[in-house]
Amino acid sequence: MKTVLTQCKRIVVKVGSSLVTNQGAGLDLGALGNWARQIAALNTSGCEVVLVSSGAIAEGMQRLGWSTRPTLVHDLQAAAAVGQMGLVQAYESCFRQHGLHAAQVLLTHADLADRERYLNARATLTTLLSLRVIPIINENDTVVTDEIKFGDNDTLGALVTNLIDADALVILTDQTGLYTADPRKDTSATLVSEAQAGDAKLEQMAGGAGSSIGRGGMITKILAAKRAARSGAHTVIASGHERDVLLRLLQGETIGTLLTAPTLTLAARKQWLADHLQVAGKLVLDAGAIKALHAEGKSLLPIGVKSVVGEFERGAVLACISEDGKDIARGLTNYNAAEARLIAQHPSKEIESLLGYGGDAEIIHRDNLVLL
């Protein structure tokens, strides 16, 4: 861990609800002050920090007198709207004590799915960092719906990590790290100190959500590390209850679980494609097409498409999946849904006769496709 994190110049830190609230009873100002102190120290040392913080809904619940997390979307949106006021005010007050300003940045998947808005968000965050402002990021729960929500702040942290080309993602939780099994149920479970992000065995080890206040579990952290690794970022999952955990991690101390990224990273445009959580449609591929993509590095041709799912226009981001539903790739389609259905399972030389006009030989060109 020492040789990896001590070299980080830009990190994304995600803190869960349990680390910023009094067990859901509003914000813990002492805890927020602790994070501000550590982040200010890192900032002084030359490390740029973006903070993805939970807590808005919990704060809103407390202000509204709600004892249990609501399930209706509009109630959650209302709680978030009320709670964001307290969350941002508290962070700004804490960072001001260290001569720093904080900035609120609320995001939805739609902000990152649109290429222009993606680049605008990236430019805004990098500008804030250059001004030594600490961006406080959260999902825009006040407008989010099931169709556009990230689903948890672990995923949001990974997307932001990729967005700004951060060196590492630090996910702080109330757990010590990743264990070989749930330590609450299996006394023989041992802590995983280091592994490679994306290893399928990690997902088998991870359990479900364990808090009534937050909505993430260990599985979301494992998947977030896998996503962050696509841009070359390492991920640490550690307990936020450890004294000075951020400072000690960046000094090279081994705390929690380090999930390392492979050395090969995606180009920026393909990273944007890979980070699409929502897609306009799906193409079901046969075994030959999957082999051509993975082993031969080829484009996706119509003949390899077994079926087309959904309605979409030319240029939409599609998921390419196997017949058993496994994610294979993401890509920008050269054809709309109706055209894709007409040419599916046919050789490219028949496209003109099938459509009545000439078109691209590929449904998705290799330059516009990223393997998952």
CA gap 115, 156 in Å, rounded: 17
Kindly state whether residues 240 and 365 are assigned to the same domain. Answer: no
CA nearest neighbour of 277 among 149, 119, 165: 149
User: Could you read off the pLDDT tens digit of each residue along the chain, which spans 372 residues?
Assistant: 555 778 889 999 999 888 998 876 789 999 999 999 999 999 999 999 999 998 888 889 989 999 888 888 889 889 889 999 999 999 999 999 999 999 999 988 778 877 778 888 988 999 999 999 999 998 876 676 665 567 678 999 999 998 998 999 999 998 899 888 877 778 888 999 999 998 888 887 775 444 433 344 788 899 999 989 888 899 999 999 999 999 999 999 999 999 999 866 667 667 778 877 778 899 999 999 999 998 888 999 999 999 999 999 888 889 999 999 999 999 989 999 999 999 999 999 999 999 998 888 999 988 889 888
* Number of domains present in the structure of the chain: 2
Q: Of 270, 300, 334, which residue constitutes the final position of a domain?
A: 270
Of 214, 241, 270, the residue at which a domain comes to its end is 270
Both 109 and 199 in one domain: the answer is yes
Domain that residue 252 falls in = 2-270
Sequential DSSP letters for 242-281: STTHHHHHHTT---SEEEEPPS----HHHHHHHT-SS-SE
Q: Are residues 292 and 229 in the same domain?
A: no
Last residue of a domain, one of 222, 249, 270: 270
| Same domain membership, residue 330 and residue 260 | no
Q: Are 128 and 101 in contact (CB under 8 A)?
A: no
Q: Are residue 163 and residue 309 in the same domain, yes or no?
A: no
286 and 256 assigned to the same domain: no
Phi, psi angles (nearest 5°) of residue 117: -65, -35
Is the domain of 6 the same as that of 140?
A: yes
Both tokens assigned to 144: 């989010």
Check: pTM over 0.75? Answer yes or no: yes
